[in-house]
Structure 1
Amino acid sequence: MAEIETKFVGDMSRLSSRIEMYERMQPAFYQQEVEKVFRRAWLVAACTTEIPVPGSFVLADIPPLKLSILIVHSNDGKIRAFHNVCRHRGDRLVHTPNGCTRAFTCAFHAWSYATDGRLLNITDASQFEDVDKSQYGLVPVHCEVWEDVVFVNLDKTPRETLKEFLGDMYDQYKGFAKNRVKIADHRLVLNTNWNLATNAFSEGYHNLYIHKNTVPDYQGGPNNPDRHRAYLEVGRHFGRYSTHGNQNHKKTATEEVVFRYSKPMFPWFPKFDYSTQPPGINPSRFEEWGFDIVHIFPNCVFAPQANTHSYMTFWPIDHNHTEIRNWRFAYQSDNPADAIAQAYSVTRAREVIREDMNTMETNLIGILSGAIPHTVLSKQERVIQNHYRAIDDMLAQD
């Protein structure tokens, strides 16, 4: 069988295989990213499964902008987002990470707000002069729902809609997440730059080496020994690739038991019927498909695969500290076999991700040493090249 050749799609003409990284790791460069990337881009902030019914809410922290955003499923059925700030004295309005309520009441002086942001009550209102309640509702934040996630935009007026921002991929995943629920939610902070953390999950060049102790043969196979991506595409604000699931993967004893009576999940990729899937899932319809990696610029990596998917977001706290959030989803389990398979898949994925994270802090140390003038990227790392092209485009805007 012939060796796998990557199918490259999209405009590669403005990508560079040489990236000067030292300057990008400096505080001054980071401040530009905060103001021109994170304040202007559409950002994945929450998942809709966290706010399933009217009155449900979730808080989303945006560390680079030092903001707390209140995302609410309003009583009229609409998803809204607000700055989590009381209009009276500016205290934080909601302290509980998530929940369900009919109204939000500030613990400081008991001003209360409806789920659509309207100011409902001012305590001892007669003592306030010239305060029109209709002008003191919660401060809204631009938000849009895409499939099972909520995006926010912190610009005063977004420069484009979410559909315009995502481009071709916006309509290509319709309904893929139907009937799936969150099965894991992990967070941690690393001493690394957010770009390096995002890059670590935007290429598969490393997996033959980094993951040799956990999932040594889950990708590639006899006809793809170097584990080239089956498909790789770049867009203005996204990059994605499809992995080659090894059909000769030798299941471990645990996998033999775990997946015997359940749907297959990571790290096992038997042939999957993708004919009923939307066009964004395995875009090239590669027969021996494992999973896709979709980098949603600037800081989200979305990974759809058979019977499960995940979102990882990489939030800079400052120029050399990053908070990583990982949400994993799967079909609703209705029997013990499915529940066990999902628990195993989550545990295995967590160990694989820990291996990925093992390089991030030393990667930053190496770059800050100033020893190398630039990094050198291969064709298999074009999603990373596209990431830096997109950053530079945004930094060049007024």
Structure 2
Amino acid sequence: MATKPTFTSVDQADLDFLGREPIPAKYYHDADWYERERQAIFLRSWIEIGHVCELPQPGSFIRRELEFAGVSLLIVRGRDGEIRAFHNVCTHRGTQLTDQAEGRTSTFSCPYHRWTFGLDGALLSAPDFERFFTTKADCALPRVALDTCAGLIFVNLGADPVPLRDWLGELADELETLPVARATRFSEYVYDIAANWKLTYDNFQENYHLRFIHPRTGEATFSSENPFGYPVRYQFFGPHRTQTIWTNPEPRIAPLQRVAMGKAMIAAARRGLAGGPNGREYFALFPNFFILGTVAPHFSHVVYPLGPQRSRGVIRIYWEGDDADASERFAREYVMAMARDVHAEDRAVIEAGQRGLASGALKHIHFQTQEALCRHLIGAVRDAVAAHEAAAGTAG
């Protein structure tokens, strides 16, 4: 008879370098602090905004609105196959070039005065351009830094940012081994929530709440042996972090999940491996993106700030290959519906936490040992704000 696997939680002694002190509550609601984060982090970090499968051929484009920066971006695959990012703004008088969310085109033409730009951002033509006191070369679309890793598209609004792979460090190679690097399709769920981006994000990097908020839907992650579903390992890589998620060795898998997953994936899920050495790893990339290394489903979540007490989340489940038949299509949508159901259990309690913090009743909040990733995130945020303000001579 096989020996039942034992569970040992991570000890506080291994995490003391993160500190034990209470965390100022203002970090989750204060408008001044949010503005410092916005300047120091979101206008200067690599932000995940999509996947290369959305741009399958030359001329494919997607539009992304980054409210935290007040910008609209065009992500375009050029004739040469390169993916580039441009501000969605005509260089004549600022009119946005398109309000389409996605599509395919050979050029972008301003609806106001018909200035026309190529897929590489160059100004191709403009009516009566000879009467302007400039050159076409000086009127190209403003470009934004863009790079990819594991098929994921990242942009950076800062000037001369560090290369993406340098930013990711040793996690870059691990990410490239994940199924998302081979994804060809995805299901997506977008939500707005009345909560600070960190409060929203923190809910998804700690398991302390699972047995209380997800007593039914979270049973694959906890059991009598591990009643809180705590991870078996945490790792820290500069501002980034990972956790190895413990999995119930005898999960209940719904029939439709079986169709979407396939026999091999189900067997892997029961082994707690789900397809590889990083199968149960949770990769949290600073500041606001995480992805699960599971094969089925391959799940990612990014939380964009909309204000001191508002944020937007984009949840995706990535798939390899087209749907084999109607049953598989239905099963994949069912898996996405299950993810929405689980998330629906979280939203009200996250917003309740935001209302409580915004009331000013608490000056500090407290993290326990197994909320280590939450503590690490706030430490990385504070470090980034301090470094930016020191460099700018505005520390305060």
Q: TM-score under structure 1 normalisation?
A: 0.89
Selected match of 1:293 from 263, 272, 282: 282
Moved more, 95-104 or 240-249: 240-249
**CA RMSD across the alignment:** 2.4
Aligned to 2:247: 245
Q: Deviations over 1:342-371 (max 9, x none)?
A: 122111111001112221111111112233
Contact 2:28 2:309 in 1 (8 A): no
Q: Does 1:106 align with 2:110?
A: yes
Gaps spanning 5+ residues in structure 2: where? 392-396
Contact 1:11 1:235 in 2 (8 A): no
In the aligned structure 2, how far is the partner of 1:394 from the partner of 1:28?
15
Q: Deviations over 1:27-77 (max 9, x none)?
A: 111110111110111110121111111111111111111111111111111
Aligned to 2:207: 204
Q: Cα distance, 1:119 vs. partner?
A: 0.8
Q: 4+ residue stretches of structure 1 with deviation over 6 A? A: 8-11
Gaps spanning 5+ residues in structure 1: where? 283-290
Contact 1:237 1:297 in 2 (8 A): yes
Q: Deviations over 1:243-296 (max 9, x none)?
A: 222122234xxx136516851679x93226667x4x5x24xxxxxxxx432221
Q: For residues 262 and 226 of structure 1, do their structure 2 counterparts lie closer, same or farther at Cα, with a shift above 3 Å needed?
A: closer
In the aligned structure 1, how far is the partner of 2:207 from the partner of 2:312?
22
In the aligned structure 1, how far is the partner of 2:20 from the partner of 2:93?
49
- Kindly indicate which of the two structures has a greater share of residues assigned to helix: 2
Q: Cα distance, 1:10 vs. partner?
A: 8.8
Q: Secondary structure at the match of 1:358?
A: helix
In the aligned structure 2, how far is the partner of 1:261 from the partner of 1:302?
19
Q: Cα distance, 1:184 vs. partner?
A: 1.4
Contact 1:17 1:378 in 2 (8 A): no
Q: Does 1:184 align with 2:187?
A: yes
Q: Cα distance, 1:220 vs. partner?
A: 2.7
Structure 1 counterpart of 2:363, one-letter code = P
Aligned to 1:133: 136
Q: Deviations over 1:147-170 (max 9, x none)?
A: 121111111221x22112112211
Q: Cα distance, 1:335 vs. partner?
A: 2.9
Q: For residues 11 and 43 of structure 1, do their structure 2 counterparts lie closer, same or farther at Cα, with a shift above 3 Å needed?
A: farther
User: Identity over aligned residues, as a percent?
Assistant: 24
Q: For residues 181 and 108 of structure 1, do their structure 2 counterparts lie closer, same or farther at Cα, with a shift above 3 Å needed?
A: same
Contact 1:165 1:237 in 2 (8 A): no
Q: For residues 80 and 16 of structure 1, do their structure 2 counterparts lie closer, same or farther at Cα, with a shift above 3 Å needed?
A: farther
How do residues 330-349 of structure 1 correspond to structure 2 at under 5 angstroms?
A: 330-332=319-321, 333-349=323-339
Q: TM-score under structure 2 normalisation?
A: 0.89
Structure 2 counterpart of 1:27, one-letter code = A
Selected match of 1:41 from 27, 36, 45: 45
